[in-house]
Amino acid sequence: MRKTALNEVFELAKKHKKVFFIGSDLGAGTLNDFREQIPERFLLEGIYEQNIIGMAAGLALEGKVVYINSIATFLTRRCFDQNILDLGLHNVNVRIIANGGGLVYAPLGPTHEAIEDIAIMKTIPNMTVIAPADAQEMKKLIPLTLEYKGPIYIRMGKGYDPIVTDKETPFVIGKAYPMRKGSDALILTTGITLRLALEAADELAKYGIKTSVIHVPTIKPLDKKTILKHAEKIHIIVTVEEHIKIGGFGSAISELLCEANFAKPKKFKMIGIPDEFPENYGSQDLLMEHYGISTKGLVKAVKDLKGK
């Protein structure tokens, strides 16, 4: 996903002189072609995220579209004041491409695990927050960011995540995508947990539970219309995210559902990381399983709500 995102930025930069790239002490060799071919718009900078966000805002105030790449935790937490004021308040065209959203860096521990990035970035007025499910979706997304108004936070998965989106469906920022249709339960997901939701829907079918799946890559602004249209007809609703439950994707959905005041009450559950720092290492998959962010966890959640 990361390789695809950065290559697409390079492709955009080749065609459009307003595209700038800022990397914060990236891995050796990253985007070498970009650096060699367009050095004047390839800024390889130090480990100073506050400064990078500010200089990106300065470039964007001059009409440039600036893509920044580094690790998610550092580009969200470390420079939060700059994200709010330099990007949000100025409403500039800066795109943060954040490596390792969620538990990707499980072996490296809590300093590197971006488990609250969605929550904090979506509190910023004017900020769009997107978590694509796979590289295929990322490839469709990046070209659309060129003319999109305002700052965007793009959360990336581990890389080489299985392709689960539909190749033919065009991508639109701000749109939710129904991926499976079923009238018994609805699973709402964002980012790479789409794979788990689809597997869970297949598994639940074996128990006779017909499950809808809606993939919501754009967490902010939320495609309220699509989500409510489907949620209205379905009694059991489960959200899943690779993120803490406080203020994240599930929380956004629950706010939406509560305010919809449906005539008939719903059964609802959020799957995500509880209010704690992960204490284990291992791998992304192991930590996700630990928190029930898994096919098994989803199947269990739906069955429990169904009373089966």
Partner 1 sequence: MNNTKLDKKSIEMRKQIVSMMACAGRGHPASAFSLVEILRVLYDDILKYNPKKPKWDKRDRFILSKGHGCLALYVVLAEKGFFPKKELEKFCAFDGLLGGHPEILTPGIEASTGSLGHGLSIGLGMAINAKFEKSNHKVFVVLGDGETDEGSVWEAALCAGKHKLDNLIVILDYNKVQSYGLVSYVQNLEPIADKWKSFGFEVREVDGHNLNELKKVFSQIPFTKGKPSMIICHTVKGKGVSFMEGNAKWHHVKPKPEELKKIYKALEV
Cβ count near 92 (within 10 Å) = 23
3-state class of 64 per DSSP? Answer: coil
DSSP 8-state code for residue 114: B
Q: How far is the CB of 51 from partner 1 (least distance, A)?
A: 4
Q: Which is nearer to partner 1, 123 or 226 (CB)?
A: 123
Cβ count near 17 (within 10 Å) = 11
Is 302 within 8 Å of 209 (Cβ atoms)? yes
Alpha helices in the chain (DSSP H): 2-15, 32-37, 49-61, 72-76, 80-82, 117-122, 135-144, 194-206, 224-233, 249-260, 284-290, 295-306
Q: How far is the CB of 85 from partner 1 (least distance, A)?
A: 6
Q: Which is nearer to partner 1, 41 or 243 (CB)?
A: 41
Chain residues binding partner 1 by CB under 8 A are: 40-41, 43, 45-46, 48, 50-62, 64, 81-82, 85-86, 89-90
Torsion of CA 44, 47, 53, 54, to 10 degrees: -90
Break the chain down into helix, strand, coil percent, rounded to 5.
40, 20, 35
* Residues linked to residue 154 through DSSP beta bridges, in sequence order: 97, 130
Q: How far is the CB of 295 from partner 1 (least distance, A)?
A: 44
Q: Which is nearer to partner 1, 30 or 51 (CB)?
A: 51
Q: How far is the CB of 94 from partner 1 (least distance, A)?
A: 10
Q: Which is nearer to partner 1, 18 or 210 (CB)?
A: 18
Q: Which is nearer to partner 1, 88 or 297 (CB)?
A: 88
Between CA 93 and CA 82 the distance in angstroms is 14
Between CA 306 and CA 202 the distance in angstroms is 16
Q: How far is the CB of 18 from partner 1 (least distance, A)?
A: 10
Q: Which is nearer to partner 1, 86 or 161 (CB)?
A: 86
Q: How far is the CB of 57 from partner 1 (least distance, A)?
A: 5
Is 186 within 8 Å of 238 (Cβ atoms)? yes
Q: Which is nearer to partner 1, 20 or 268 (CB)?
A: 20
Q: How far is the CB of 103 from partner 1 (least distance, A)?
A: 29
DSSP 8-state code for residue 147: S
Q: How far is the CB of 73 from partner 1 (least distance, A)?
A: 18
Q: Which is nearer to partner 1, 73 or 82 (CB)?
A: 82
Bond preceding residue 265 cis, omega within 30 of 0: no
